[in-house]
Amino acid sequence: MKSKQQQGPIQGDRCGICVPIVGPSIEEVLSQVQKAVQAEVDLIELRPDMWMKDSHISEEVYIPTIVNLVEEVHSKYEKMPMLFTWRTLAEGGETPLSSENYCNLLQVIVDQNVVDAVDVELFAYTEKIGSIMKQAHQQGMQTVMSYHNFYKTLGIDTLHLYAEQMISAGASVIKFALMPTSSDDVFSVLQFTRELTQRYPQLPRITMSMGQLGQMTRTCGNVFGNCLTFGTLGQASAPGQIEVAVLRQLIKGKK
Protein backbone atom coordinates (compact mmCIF):
# COMPACT_ATOMS: atom_id res chain seq x y z
CA MET A 1 0.00 0.00 0.00
CA LYS A 2 1.39 3.39 -1.00
CA SER A 3 2.18 5.90 1.73
CA LYS A 4 0.52 9.03 0.39
CA GLN A 5 1.29 12.64 1.11
CA GLN A 6 -1.60 14.13 3.02
CA GLN A 7 -2.32 16.74 0.34
CA GLY A 8 -1.59 14.62 -2.71
CA PRO A 9 0.78 15.11 -5.65
CA ILE A 10 -1.26 17.81 -7.47
CA GLN A 11 -0.93 21.12 -5.66
CA GLY A 12 -2.43 24.55 -6.31
CA ASP A 13 0.75 26.53 -5.74
CA ARG A 14 2.96 24.96 -8.40
CA CYS A 15 2.86 23.34 -11.83
CA GLY A 16 3.92 19.73 -12.06
CA ILE A 17 4.74 17.60 -15.11
CA CYS A 18 2.82 14.38 -15.75
CA VAL A 19 3.60 11.66 -18.29
CA PRO A 20 0.81 9.38 -19.58
CA ILE A 21 1.70 5.68 -19.54
CA VAL A 22 0.00 4.30 -22.63
CA GLY A 23 1.26 0.69 -22.90
CA PRO A 24 0.02 -1.51 -24.49
CA SER A 25 2.00 -4.46 -23.07
CA ILE A 26 3.25 -4.79 -19.50
CA GLU A 27 6.80 -4.59 -20.88
CA GLU A 28 5.99 -1.29 -22.61
CA VAL A 29 4.19 0.03 -19.54
CA LEU A 30 7.15 -0.68 -17.27
CA SER A 31 9.59 0.72 -19.82
CA GLN A 32 7.60 3.95 -20.06
CA VAL A 33 7.43 4.25 -16.27
CA GLN A 34 11.19 3.72 -16.04
CA LYS A 35 11.74 6.56 -18.54
CA ALA A 36 9.41 8.80 -16.52
CA VAL A 37 11.36 8.04 -13.34
CA GLN A 38 14.64 8.83 -15.09
CA ALA A 39 13.15 12.09 -16.41
CA GLU A 40 12.22 13.02 -12.81
CA VAL A 41 8.63 13.92 -13.63
CA ASP A 42 6.21 14.73 -10.81
CA LEU A 43 3.48 12.26 -11.70
CA ILE A 44 2.57 9.49 -14.13
CA GLU A 45 -0.90 8.91 -15.52
CA LEU A 46 -1.87 5.27 -15.94
CA ARG A 47 -4.12 5.01 -19.02
CA PRO A 48 -5.57 1.47 -19.10
CA ASP A 49 -8.13 2.43 -21.78
CA MET A 50 -5.09 2.62 -24.06
CA TRP A 51 -3.58 -0.58 -22.66
CA MET A 52 -6.77 -2.52 -23.42
CA LYS A 53 -7.29 -1.15 -26.93
CA ASP A 54 -5.77 -4.07 -28.84
CA SER A 55 -5.74 -6.62 -26.04
CA HIS A 56 -8.45 -8.85 -27.60
CA ILE A 57 -9.75 -9.76 -24.14
CA SER A 58 -13.37 -9.41 -23.08
CA GLU A 59 -14.62 -6.46 -21.03
CA GLU A 60 -15.28 -8.81 -18.09
CA VAL A 61 -11.53 -9.46 -17.85
CA TYR A 62 -10.48 -5.80 -18.03
CA ILE A 63 -10.77 -5.11 -14.32
CA PRO A 64 -8.63 -7.97 -12.94
CA THR A 65 -6.10 -7.41 -15.74
CA ILE A 66 -5.84 -3.69 -14.95
CA VAL A 67 -5.60 -4.29 -11.21
CA ASN A 68 -2.69 -6.67 -11.78
CA LEU A 69 -0.92 -4.18 -14.06
CA VAL A 70 -1.34 -1.34 -11.56
CA GLU A 71 0.02 -3.56 -8.79
CA GLU A 72 2.98 -4.49 -10.98
CA VAL A 73 3.82 -0.83 -11.61
CA HIS A 74 3.38 0.02 -7.93
CA SER A 75 5.56 -2.86 -6.73
CA LYS A 76 8.45 -1.77 -8.95
CA TYR A 77 8.08 2.02 -8.68
CA GLU A 78 6.46 2.59 -5.30
CA LYS A 79 7.79 6.14 -4.88
CA MET A 80 6.46 7.43 -8.22
CA PRO A 81 3.11 9.23 -7.70
CA MET A 82 0.36 7.79 -9.91
CA LEU A 83 -2.86 9.18 -11.37
CA PHE A 84 -5.28 6.50 -12.56
CA THR A 85 -7.43 7.40 -15.58
CA TRP A 86 -9.88 5.40 -17.61
CA ARG A 87 -10.82 7.86 -20.35
CA THR A 88 -14.24 7.04 -21.83
CA LEU A 89 -14.89 7.03 -25.56
CA ALA A 90 -17.13 10.07 -25.15
CA GLU A 91 -14.15 12.13 -23.95
CA GLY A 92 -11.34 10.84 -26.14
CA GLY A 93 -10.64 7.37 -24.76
CA GLU A 94 -9.54 4.37 -26.78
CA THR A 95 -11.62 1.43 -25.51
CA PRO A 96 -15.36 1.05 -24.83
CA LEU A 97 -16.46 0.29 -21.28
CA SER A 98 -20.00 0.08 -19.93
CA SER A 99 -21.11 2.67 -17.38
CA GLU A 100 -21.49 -0.11 -14.82
CA ASN A 101 -17.95 -1.37 -15.35
CA TYR A 102 -16.55 2.18 -15.36
CA CYS A 103 -18.00 2.57 -11.88
CA ASN A 104 -16.82 -0.92 -10.84
CA LEU A 105 -13.30 -0.17 -12.08
CA LEU A 106 -13.08 3.05 -10.07
CA GLN A 107 -14.30 1.20 -6.98
CA VAL A 108 -11.72 -1.56 -7.35
CA ILE A 109 -8.88 0.92 -7.90
CA VAL A 110 -9.87 2.91 -4.82
CA ASP A 111 -10.13 -0.34 -2.83
CA GLN A 112 -6.68 -1.36 -4.09
CA ASN A 113 -5.37 1.93 -2.62
CA VAL A 114 -1.99 2.16 -4.30
CA VAL A 115 -2.51 5.13 -6.67
CA ASP A 116 -2.33 8.71 -5.42
CA ALA A 117 -5.14 10.17 -7.52
CA VAL A 118 -8.03 8.92 -9.64
CA ASP A 119 -9.73 10.66 -12.57
CA VAL A 120 -13.54 10.89 -12.55
CA GLU A 121 -15.30 12.35 -15.57
CA LEU A 122 -17.90 14.98 -14.73
CA PHE A 123 -20.52 13.54 -17.07
CA ALA A 124 -19.96 10.00 -15.85
CA TYR A 125 -20.70 11.07 -12.26
CA THR A 126 -23.38 9.17 -10.35
CA GLU A 127 -24.37 8.97 -6.70
CA LYS A 128 -22.42 5.71 -6.43
CA ILE A 129 -19.32 7.36 -7.88
CA GLY A 130 -19.81 10.14 -5.33
CA SER A 131 -19.49 7.59 -2.54
CA ILE A 132 -16.37 6.16 -4.21
CA MET A 133 -14.87 9.66 -4.27
CA LYS A 134 -15.56 10.07 -0.55
CA GLN A 135 -13.83 6.77 0.14
CA ALA A 136 -10.86 7.90 -1.95
CA HIS A 137 -10.56 11.08 0.08
CA GLN A 138 -10.72 9.14 3.35
CA GLN A 139 -7.76 7.09 2.11
CA GLY A 140 -5.73 10.21 1.24
CA MET A 141 -6.33 9.84 -2.50
CA GLN A 142 -7.03 12.88 -4.69
CA THR A 143 -9.98 12.88 -7.09
CA VAL A 144 -9.47 14.71 -10.39
CA MET A 145 -12.87 15.56 -11.86
CA SER A 146 -12.47 16.16 -15.56
CA TYR A 147 -14.20 17.50 -18.66
CA HIS A 148 -12.81 17.00 -22.17
CA ASN A 149 -14.17 18.38 -25.43
CA PHE A 150 -12.30 17.34 -28.57
CA TYR A 151 -14.51 19.42 -30.86
CA LYS A 152 -14.73 22.96 -29.48
CA THR A 153 -14.07 25.35 -26.62
CA LEU A 154 -17.20 26.19 -24.67
CA GLY A 155 -17.91 29.68 -23.37
CA ILE A 156 -16.33 30.75 -20.09
CA ASP A 157 -19.70 31.02 -18.33
CA THR A 158 -20.50 27.39 -19.19
CA LEU A 159 -17.06 26.26 -18.07
CA HIS A 160 -17.52 28.02 -14.73
CA LEU A 161 -20.85 26.24 -14.35
CA TYR A 162 -19.07 22.91 -14.92
CA ALA A 163 -16.39 23.91 -12.40
CA GLU A 164 -19.07 24.61 -9.81
CA GLN A 165 -20.61 21.18 -10.48
CA MET A 166 -17.20 19.54 -9.99
CA ILE A 167 -16.66 21.36 -6.71
CA SER A 168 -20.17 20.48 -5.52
CA ALA A 169 -19.43 16.83 -6.29
CA GLY A 170 -16.44 17.00 -3.96
CA ALA A 171 -13.56 17.01 -6.46
CA SER A 172 -10.17 17.72 -4.93
CA VAL A 173 -8.76 18.73 -8.35
CA ILE A 174 -10.64 20.03 -11.41
CA LYS A 175 -9.54 19.48 -15.01
CA PHE A 176 -10.57 20.96 -18.37
CA ALA A 177 -9.19 19.99 -21.79
CA LEU A 178 -10.72 21.84 -24.75
CA MET A 179 -10.16 21.92 -28.49
CA PRO A 180 -9.66 25.38 -29.98
CA THR A 181 -10.85 26.46 -33.42
CA SER A 182 -9.25 29.90 -33.24
CA SER A 183 -6.67 31.89 -31.29
CA ASP A 184 -9.58 33.46 -29.40
CA ASP A 185 -10.38 30.01 -27.99
CA VAL A 186 -6.81 29.62 -26.77
CA PHE A 187 -6.94 33.01 -25.05
CA SER A 188 -10.32 32.05 -23.57
CA VAL A 189 -8.82 28.98 -21.87
CA LEU A 190 -6.01 31.07 -20.36
CA GLN A 191 -8.54 33.64 -19.16
CA PHE A 192 -10.70 30.87 -17.67
CA THR A 193 -7.64 29.46 -15.90
CA ARG A 194 -6.84 32.84 -14.39
CA GLU A 195 -10.42 33.27 -13.20
CA LEU A 196 -10.41 29.80 -11.61
CA THR A 197 -7.20 30.69 -9.80
CA GLN A 198 -8.75 33.90 -8.49
CA ARG A 199 -12.02 32.25 -7.43
CA TYR A 200 -10.59 29.06 -5.94
CA PRO A 201 -6.94 29.77 -5.05
CA GLN A 202 -6.67 26.69 -2.82
CA LEU A 203 -8.17 24.28 -5.37
CA PRO A 204 -5.68 22.67 -7.78
CA ARG A 205 -6.76 23.09 -11.40
CA ILE A 206 -5.58 21.52 -14.64
CA THR A 207 -6.41 23.28 -17.90
CA MET A 208 -5.29 23.03 -21.47
CA SER A 209 -6.19 24.00 -24.99
CA MET A 210 -5.45 20.96 -27.16
CA GLY A 211 -3.86 20.43 -30.55
CA GLN A 212 -1.12 22.44 -32.22
CA LEU A 213 -3.13 25.65 -31.96
CA GLY A 214 -3.44 25.32 -28.19
CA GLN A 215 0.06 24.00 -27.56
CA MET A 216 1.24 27.20 -25.89
CA THR A 217 -1.16 26.62 -22.98
CA ARG A 218 0.87 23.56 -22.04
CA THR A 219 4.01 25.66 -21.61
CA CYS A 220 2.64 28.95 -20.23
CA GLY A 221 -0.61 27.88 -18.54
CA ASN A 222 1.22 27.83 -15.22
CA VAL A 223 1.57 31.63 -15.45
CA PHE A 224 -2.24 31.82 -15.27
CA GLY A 225 -2.57 29.18 -12.53
CA ASN A 226 -2.47 25.79 -14.26
CA CYS A 227 -1.14 23.18 -11.80
CA LEU A 228 -0.28 20.21 -14.03
CA THR A 229 0.83 19.85 -17.61
CA PHE A 230 1.02 16.60 -19.56
CA GLY A 231 4.19 15.83 -21.48
CA THR A 232 5.40 12.96 -23.59
CA LEU A 233 8.44 10.71 -23.57
CA GLY A 234 7.30 9.04 -26.77
CA GLN A 235 3.69 8.28 -27.65
CA ALA A 236 1.24 11.04 -26.71
CA SER A 237 -2.18 10.44 -25.18
CA ALA A 238 -3.73 13.67 -26.49
CA PRO A 239 -3.06 16.09 -29.36
CA GLY A 240 -0.54 18.82 -28.68
CA GLN A 241 1.47 17.18 -25.90
CA ILE A 242 5.07 18.36 -25.70
CA GLU A 243 8.29 16.52 -24.91
CA VAL A 244 9.11 16.42 -21.21
CA ALA A 245 12.59 17.87 -21.76
CA VAL A 246 11.05 21.01 -23.28
CA LEU A 247 8.52 21.33 -20.46
CA ARG A 248 11.21 20.94 -17.81
CA GLN A 249 13.21 23.77 -19.32
CA LEU A 250 10.25 26.12 -19.85
CA ILE A 251 8.33 25.46 -16.63
CA LYS A 252 10.96 24.43 -14.12
CA GLY A 253 14.05 26.02 -15.64
CA LYS A 254 15.84 22.65 -15.72
CA LYS A 255 17.53 20.82 -18.57
Which domain range does residue 171 map to? Answer: 16-250
Kindly report the CATH number assigned to the domain that includes residue 185.
Answer: 3.20.20.70
230 within a domain of the structure (yes/no) = yes
8 within a domain of the structure (yes/no) = no
147 within a domain of the structure (yes/no) = yes
Question: 80 and 37 in contact (C-beta within 8 Å)?
Answer: yes
5 within a domain of the structure (yes/no) = no
Q: How many structural domains does the chain have?
A: 1
Catalytic residues: 148, 175
Task: Tell me what pLDDT residue 249 has.
Answer: 85
Amino acid letter at 94? E
Nearest to 33 by CA among 67, 92, 79, 65: 79
255 within a domain of the structure (yes/no) = no
184 within a domain of the structure (yes/no) = yes
112 within a domain of the structure (yes/no) = yes
d(CA 126, CA 221): 31
Query: Whole-model pTM?
Result: 0.93
2 within a domain of the structure (yes/no) = no
Q: What is the pLDDT along the chain (255 residues), one digit of tens a residue?
A: 554 444 799 999 999 999 999 988 889 999 999 999 999 999 999 999 999 998 889 998 999 999 999 999 999 999 999 999 999 999 999 999 999 999 999 999 999 999 999 999 999 999 999 999 999 999 999 999 999 999 999 999 999 999 999 999 999 999 999 999 999 999 999 999 999 999 999 999 999 999 999 999 999 999 999 999 999 887 665 666 788 988 888 887 665
